Amino acid sequence: MPEPASAVRPRATTILRKLRHQYPNAVTALRHENPFQLVIATILSAQCTDERVNQVTPVLFARYPGPRELSGADPAVVEGRVRPTGFFRMKTRSIIGCSRALVERHAGIVPEFMDELVRLPGVGRKTANVVLGQAFGITSGVVVDTHVHRLSRRMGFSGSKTAEGAEDDLKAIFPKKDWIAVGSLLILHGRNVCSARRPRCSECVVEKLCPSAGMLA
């Protein structure tokens, strides 16, 4: 049974401080030049590495620089461009549908509100949190991807089996001003040290603060 947020908070604060020191430039690894590009890149990043997405998007955006261009694209051509990211047919439908919705509902401009973002095809709460936090600097919640979900359980921040539940637990522990950083830092730490199969606890800067340290190797 996870500890209440009030009990976890002092340890969580120290963990966050140490991770900030370890990763002083914690921002999304998805390369983008504007909010639209970040929306599309984040949709493509589902079950795919950011590195792979970054190999695909320059060519994609060179041909379709904005939502108006992508909304009218030939799906077969787009599928060929995004195939390396996996689930390319579904992702093609999502990014073309998202672009079309941006043009039809928002004059081609990415909205800055959670309720409007999650109504776009292919955009869930995680993607919306990424866009709001990284493109607009708006604190709407904590980005919970597979890394954040895994680390929140390992570090004793959450016992939830769902991303939504883990986000609620993290929001209860950390102050709102830190929500964007929490997601970015846990993603980087999960990617670099606390991996799913072989966590390198002996190299972890928060090993002494983690209840799972040494139990997962």
- The set of catalytic residues is 126, 145
Burial-class residue 197 by CB neighbours within 10 Å (0-12, 13-18, 19+).
exposed
Residue 184, classed as helix, strand or coil, is helix
Q: Which structure tokens are listed for 192?
A: 């670099």
| Nearby residues of 63 by Cβ (< 8 Å), 6 or more positions away | 69, 73, 77, 81
Q: Where are the beta strands (DSSP E) in the chain?
A: none
Among candidates 77, 75, 65, which has minimal Cα distance to 40?
65
The residue whose two tokens read 């969580």 is 12
Residue 173, classed as helix, strand or coil, is helix
Q: Which structure tokens are listed for 22?
A: 């370890």
How many CB atoms lie under 10 A from the CB of residue 27? Answer: 12
| Nearby residues of 198 by Cβ (< 8 Å), 6 or more positions away | 217
